[in-house]
Amino acid sequence: MSTLLDVKNLWVKFPTRNGVVEAVRGISFSLGKERLGIVGESGSGKSMTGRAILRLIRPPGIIEADHISLHGQNLMDLSESKMRAVRGQKISMVMQDPKFSLNPVMTIGDQIIEAHRLHAKSSRSEARKKAIEMLEAVSIRDPERVMKAYPHEMSGGMGQRIMIAMMLIPNPEILIADEPTSALDVSVQGQVLSIMDKLVKDRGMGLIFISHDLNLVSQFCDRVLIMYAGRIVEVCEADKLHEAQHPYTRGLLGSLPRFDAPRARLDVLQRDPAWRDAPSVEART
């Protein structure tokens, strides 16, 4: 599999009054044209990993890495203006709640048209046509009506599909989705995932799918990185997750409810302090 992105020895640190918080501690992984899941409990460093790839860590946060290479070009070396061109055009990110990402005082149509014109410098009528095509691609049935609506008029699932449509306008090679469906109810979650899946397959993109939901990731992704305390503790093919070896992964699996074998009590994950200090697993293909 050809490598789109290669990350080596990535750290994210936050200097605080009480010392430095190390949110990500020297992780290495690569991404090909695949669906790569990143799972782990709250605070394990999943979101910071996604944001660091796009250099979107707010000061005083610091990103350090031997490299974050996109087709061999080290993103760590780029100027901020060159990095802006990478964001959106080559790598896009979909966040958890679309309401925070969409502009509340602009219609959906104007936002998509603007995003398209920024990218392709096309005429307004061309951009409008493209916007409608994009909305149809994410299964929005009445795109003309949706174009005239404001973000607050959209349901969560609809808003998330619109965000995905916007992120895909420049045809990025990599999509980073940070808990993209966790605010949605289960049936809408399924629809959004299948749309994303189809787009990734049709366009041959690489997808980084960040989630705390091990079940979801194992069904939706090809490969899974399991993060604990800022490190990768294990990497698995998604369909072999049940064979995972690390006690943390086994603990996460054991604490999932199962319909086929219901138990009165779920296992409680017992953490071993040694997991924190074990070296990060290399997850490069």
Which of the ranges 35-43, 64-72, 78-86, 136-144 carries the binding residues for ligand ATP, by CB under 6 A?
35-43
**Distance separating alpha carbons of residues 168 and 120, to the nearest angstrom:** 13
Query: What is residue 241's three-state secondary structure?
Result: helix
Minimum CB distance to ligand ATP smaller for 45 or for 170 = 45
CB of 68 to ligand ATP, least distance (A): 16
Q: Given CA atoms 150, 161, 113, 35 in this order, what sign does their dihedral have?
A: positive
Please identify, using beta-carbon distances, which residue of 50 and 151 lies nearer to ligand ATP: 50
Alpha helices in the chain (DSSP H): 46-53, 80-89, 98-101, 108-120, 124-137, 143-148, 156-168, 186-203, 214-220, 247-254, 273-277
Please answer whether residues 191 and 180 qualify as being in contact, where contact means their C-beta atoms are separated by less than 8 angstroms: no
Between 37 and 143, CB nearer to ligand ATP = 37
Determine, following the binding rule CB under 6 A, whether residue 14 of this chain makes contact with ligand ATP: yes
> With binding defined as CB under 6 A, does residue 44 bind ligand ATP?
yes
Q: State in angstroms the smallest separation of the CB of 96 from ligand ATP.
A: 8
* DSSP string for residues in 172-206: -SEEEEESTTTTS-HHHHHHHHHHHHHHHHHHT-E
Stretch that binds ligand ATP, among 39-47, 132-140, 259-267, 277-285 (CB under 6 A): 39-47
Which residue number, 16 or 270, has a Cβ lying nearer to ligand ATP?
16
Q: Which CB, 14 or 150, lies closer to ligand ATP?
A: 14
Only one of the segments 14-22, 109-117, 197-205, 275-283 lies at the binding site for ligand ATP (rule: CB under 6 A); that segment is: 14-22
Q: Which of 45, 157, 159, 180 binds ligand ATP (CB under 6 A)?
A: 45
d(CA 97, CA 154): 12
Distances from the Cα of 3 to the Cα of 43, 125, 147, 175, 234, angstroms: 28, 37, 37, 14, 20
Residue 203 to residue 77: CA distance in whole angstroms: 28
Q: How many chain residues bind ligand ATP (CB under 6 A)? A: 14
Token look-up 């045809």 returns 171
Specify whether the CB–CB gap between 227 and 39 falls below 8 A.
Answer: yes
In the complex, least distance from residue 48 CB atom to ligand ATP, rounded to whole angstroms: 3
Instruction: Name which of 173 and 234 has its Cβ closer to ligand ATP.
Output: 234
Q: At what angle do helices 186-203 and 156-168 cross, to 10 degrees?
A: 10
Q: Which of residues 46-105 bind ligand ATP (CB under 6 A)?
A: 46-48, 61
Per CB under 6 A, residues contacting ligand ATP are: 14, 16, 21, 23, 40, 42-48, 61, 212
